[in-house]
Structure 1
Amino acid sequence: MADDLGDEWWESQPAAAGSPGVLAANANSSDALCGPSKTWIWTELNQRASSLQKPSGDEEGRDTEMMQQDTAPVPEPSQETKQPMECFLTQAKETKEETRKTKKWKKKKISEILAKSEPKPGTPGDLQQLIKDHYSGSRSVIELEELNLPDSCFLKANDLTHSLSSYLKEICPKWVKLRKTHSEKKSVLMLIMCSSAVRALELIRSLTAFKGDAKVMKLFAKHIKVREQVKFLENRVIHLGVGTPGRIKELVKQDGLNLNPLKFLVFDWNWRDQKLRRMMDIPEIRKEVFELLDMGVFSLCKSESLKLGLF
C-alpha cells in the first residue's frame, strides 16, 4: 500500500494540532508556505496549542474554589456549654424543698388545734405536769418529789358547764358560814387568780349570785397602787379577792396579805383571751404563778388547810 502511494505515508499524515512535532514542522516549513495562507495556518495552530495547554476560565475558577474549601480552617466548637434552663430547674427544686421543710417544721397555732378538736377542761394532772416541767431544770429529783401535791388538796374541776357562781357554790357549799366567822384583817378566805385586770372585772361581776354580803377586793395593778391596797387590807376585813398573780405576789412580799387564813385558791384555768391563750399559756403569767406558789402555797396544800380549784 505504501508502494502505491509513492510517498512515505507518515510524512503526509496530519498530526495533532498541539503536538510539538506539528509546531516544529510548521516552523521548518515556514519558508515553503507563502502569502495569507501561511499566516492563517500559523495563527490557527497557536490558538489550538494554547487551548490544549491552558485550562479554561471556568475550570480554573472551580479548581480555586476546591483548593479554598480544602484549605479552609475548620471552625472550632464553641466553648460555651452552659444550660441556663437546667440551672433554673435545679433552683426551682431547691426552693420547693425549702418550702416543704418550712411547712413541715411550722408550729401550729392554737386556733388550728382547737378547730380540729374540742377544748378540753383543765384537770389536776395538768397543773401537776406544769409544776414538774417548770422546776425540772432547777430542782433535784428529791425536791421534785416534794413538790408533788396530794390529790386531796384538789377540788372538783370545772367541766365547762358551770358559771363562776355555780362552780363556787359546788366546791364551797358552806361559804355563808365561813364568811360570818372570818374577822382577820390583811387576809382573805378565797383568792381567784386570772390573767388580766379586764378579766378580773368580768369575774367580779359574775360573783353576784355567790358572794352575798361578802366583801370583794380588786387585786390587780391597773390604776391602783400597792400602798393603797396594803392600807385597805389593814383597815378592813376582806372575804374574797380577785386579781392577777403578779399583784397578789407583790402584796404577799410587802406583808400586806397573809396567806395562812386562805382556804380556797381558784385558777381561772379554762378561759381564753383574744389570742385563744389560757392564763397558764402566757409565759409571764405562768412564771408569776409559780413564784406565788413558792411563797407558802405548797406547804399549805400539803397541810391540807388550802384547797385548789380549776375553773
Structure 2
Amino acid sequence: MSLSTKRRSKGRGLQCKRTEKQSTNCLQQTSVDPSDDEAIEKASDNRTATPQDSDSKPAVTKKRKQPTECFLSQPEEKQESTVKAKKRKKKKISDILEKSAPKPGVPADLQNLLSQHFGENRSVIEIEELKLSDSCFLPANDLTHSFSSYLKEICPKWAKLRKNHKEKKSVVMLVICSSALRSLELIKSMTAFKGDCRVLKLFAKHIKIKEQMSMLEKGVFHIGVGTPGRVKALVEQDGLCLNSTKYMILDWNWRDQKLRRMMDIPEIKKETIDLLEMSIIKLCREGSVKLGLF
C-alpha cells in the first residue's frame, strides 16, 4: 500500500472514534432511567406548572374586583338606615302635648294665633283691624273652675240678662267647642248655672240645619252650644243673628283622647277663625261682645 492510502485510512478511523465518543456523551447527558418514576413525575409537574400559573393570574384579578362591589353596596345601606331614622324621628301632636304641662289659655294666645294665620296673606293695615285689646276679653280659666263656676264668675248678672232677652233667632251666650259629644258634656255641666233658661244644640251630628233654623225662628233661646262649622253656616244663612249676643266662650283648654285642644285640630281651627273674622271681631271691637277662654 502507498503512504497516502494509509494516512487516509488512519484519518477515517480517528473520525469514527471521535463520533462514537460524542454520541456516548450525549446519551449520558440526555438519557433518563426508565425505572426512575420520581424523576418522570417531577418533570411532568414542572411542565404542568407553567399553564397553571398562567391560569391563576386572572383569578387574582377577579378577587381584586370584589372590594369595589362591597364599596358600592355600603352607601345604599347607609341611605336606608338614614331613611328609617328619619321616619322614627317624626312625632305626632299627641306625643308633643303628652310631654308638655297643661297651661291655661290667655288672650295673648288667641292674638298670636290670629296674627300667624293672617300674617302671610294680609297687609299690615288689615292685620291691625283684626287685633283685639285686652278689654275685649273676659277673665280666662286658670284650670281650677268647672264650667258652671267659670260662667258664674264671668256673668254675675246672668239672671237679669236672661229675663230681658226676648228676641228670636239669637242667643245671649254662644259656646264654641270641638265636637258634638263635647257640646253635650258642656250642656250637662252647666246645669248649676243655666237655671230655667233654654239651651240650643248647634252642631251638625244627627241634627239638620233647617230644623235648627226653624227652632230659632219659633222660640227664644238664651244659650247656644255647638261647633264652629255649624254656627258659621247658620250665620251665613241668616238663621242665627249675633247682634243680641253678649258673651262668646271658646272651649280653649279641653283636650280630647289624642290630647288635642280645639285649636290643635286644623279643621276646627280654620272654622273658628273664619267665624271670628266674619262678625265676632267687629262686635268685640265695638264693645258689644266679650270673649272668654275656658
Partner of residue 185, structure 1: 168
TM-score by length of 1: 0.77
1:93 has 2:105 as partner: no
1:250 has 2:225 as partner: no
TM-score by length of 2: 0.81
Where do 5+ consecutive residues of structure 2 fail to align? 1-12
1:172 has 2:155 as partner: yes
1:154 has 2:137 as partner: yes
Per-residue deviation, 1:255? 1.3
Q: Distance in 2 between matches of 1:252 and 1:124?
A: 25
Per-residue deviation, 1:184? 1.1
1:274 has 2:257 as partner: yes
Which letter maps to 1:269?
A: W
Q: Distance in 2 between matches of 1:221 and 1:71?
A: 93
Q: Distance in 1 between matches of 2:113 and 2:45?
A: 96
Residues 238 and 57 of structure 1: is their aligned pair in 2 closer, same or farther, counting only changes over 3 Å?
same
Partner of residue 198, structure 2: 215
Per-residue deviation, 1:51? 5.1
Q: Which moved more, 1:186-195 or 1:76-85?
A: 76-85
Percent identity, please: 56
Per-residue deviation, 1:97? 3.3
Partner of residue 74, structure 1: 54
Which letter maps to 1:219?
A: L
1:57 has 2:38 as partner: no
Q: Which moved more, 1:80-89 or 1:218-227?
A: 80-89
Q: Which moved more, 1:133-142 or 1:297-306?
A: 133-142
Q: Distance in 2 between matches of 1:279 and 1:139?
A: 24
Determine helix, strand or coil for the equivalent of 2:58.
coil
Residues 219 and 63 of structure 1: is their aligned pair in 2 closer, same or farther, counting only changes over 3 Å?
closer
2:177–2:262 CA contact under 8 A, matched in 1 = yes
Q: Give the alignment's Cα RMSD to 1 decimal.
A: 2.9
Residues 309 and 68 of structure 1: is their aligned pair in 2 closer, same or farther, counting only changes over 3 Å?
same
Q: Distance in 1 between matches of 2:114 and 2:82?
A: 40
Q: Which moved more, 1:84-93 or 1:292-301?
A: 84-93
Task: Kindly tell me the number of residue pairs found equivalent between the two proteins.
Answer: 269
Greater RCO, 1 or 2 (C-alpha within 8 Å, sep 6+): 2
Which letter maps to 2:58?
A: P
1:200 has 2:210 as partner: no
Per-residue deviation, 1:296? 1.5
Which letter maps to 2:78?
A: K
Where do 5+ consecutive residues of structure 1 fail to align? 1-19, 26-45
Q: Distance in 2 between matches of 1:98 and 1:201?
A: 45
Which letter maps to 2:260?
A: R
Which letter maps to 1:92?
A: E
Determine helix, strand or coil for the equivalent of 2:288.
coil
Alignment of 1:229-268 (within 5 A): 229-268=212-251
Alignment of 1:80-119 (within 5 A): 80=62, 81-83=65-67, 84-103=69-88, 106-119=89-102
Determine helix, strand or coil for the equivalent of 1:95.
helix
Which letter maps to 1:57?
A: V
Residues 245 and 90 of structure 1: is their aligned pair in 2 closer, same or farther, counting only changes over 3 Å?
closer
Per-residue displacement from partner, 1:279-303 (whole Å, max 9, x unpaired)? Answer: 1111111121122112221111001
Q: Distance in 2 between matches of 1:62 and 1:299?
A: 112
Q: Which moved more, 1:244-253 or 1:83-92?
A: 83-92
Determine helix, strand or coil for the equivalent of 2:215.
helix
Partner of residue 120, structure 1: 103
Per-residue deviation, 1:113? 2.1
The structure that is helix-richer by fraction is 2
Q: Distance in 2 between matches of 1:277 and 1:301?
A: 27
2:170–2:245 CA contact under 8 A, matched in 1 = yes
Q: Distance in 2 between matches of 1:265 and 1:99?
A: 47
